[in-house]
Amino acid sequence: VDDDFLDPLNFRPDSMLGVPGIFDVYRAGGITIANAPGTGVADDKALYSYMPDIVEFYTGKPAILQNVPTWRCSEPDSLAYVLEHLEELVVKEVHGSGGYGMLVGPASTRKDRAEFTRRIKARPNNYIVQPTLALSTCPTFVEKGIAPRHVDLRPFVLMGDQIRITPGGLTRVALKDGSLVVNSSQGGGTKDTWILED
């Protein structure tokens, strides 16, 4: 549940998703909320290109894992590069989610690219662009039997007295043959993932 829908007494009064008064209980220390209010800002696509700097600022050390290169179309040099290489790249709306409003360049048509060129030029601040990643595949049960499908893994980290990485995570699966889009809203599925041994 997005922060503004969490509690109709403290945020959006029209929210039918939240629990009235839950934020007051949270603030008083009576409960813990997974993905505490405010943490969603870390998943803002506009911040992706800044992540290595953010990690180093807060930890004093360079990030251990590399970030996916990200171009902000609001920057003239990035915009020029993006428009020249659109058929190789993935375009995402900064505030989009669920795989909506995106272009996967290698799977796009000339018409799709022309439309996204128009959109990007009209509102460059609304878009970030990344290279097309070579996702791993996993044997997946589909209508015709077992077949390889592209996947990505979402690990979970728990923070209390210590920071702990869970022994597994959520694997998102692109159920359409050849698709790189793993979002459930775009026909993707999920698999529980467990690490059985170190």
Q: Which domains does the chain have, with CATH numbers?
A: 1-39 (3.40.50.11290), 44-133 (3.30.1490.270), 136-194 (no CATH)
State both tokens at 3: 């922060």
* Amino acid 198: pLDDT: 67
Note whether 93 and 140 are within 8 A (CB). Answer: no
d(CA 57, CA 44): 18
HEC string for the chain = CCHHHCCCCCCCCCCCCCCCCHHHHHHCCCCCCCCCCCHHHHHCHHHHHHHHHHHHHHHCCCCCCCCCCCEECCCHHHHHHHHHCHHHEEEEECCCCCCCCCEEHHHCCHHHHHHHHHHHHHCHHHEEEEECCCCEEEEEEECCEEEEEEEEEEEEEEECCCEEEEEEEEEEECCCCCCCCCCHHHCCEEEEEECCCC
Q: Which residues contact 122 (CB under 8 A, 6 or more apart)?
A: none
Instruction: Please enumerate in sequence order all residues whose Cβ is within 8 A of that of 74, keeping only pairs 6 or more positions apart, or say none.
Output: 124, 125
0.85 surpassed by pTM: no
- Residues of the chain whose pLDDT is less than 70? 198
Each residue of 105-143: pLDDT tens digit? 999 999 999 999 999 999 999 999 999 998 899 999 988
Residue 152 phi, psi dihedral angles, 5° rounding = -135, 155
pLDDT at 79: 97
Report the pLDDT value the prediction gives residue 159, as an integer from 0 to 100. Answer: 77
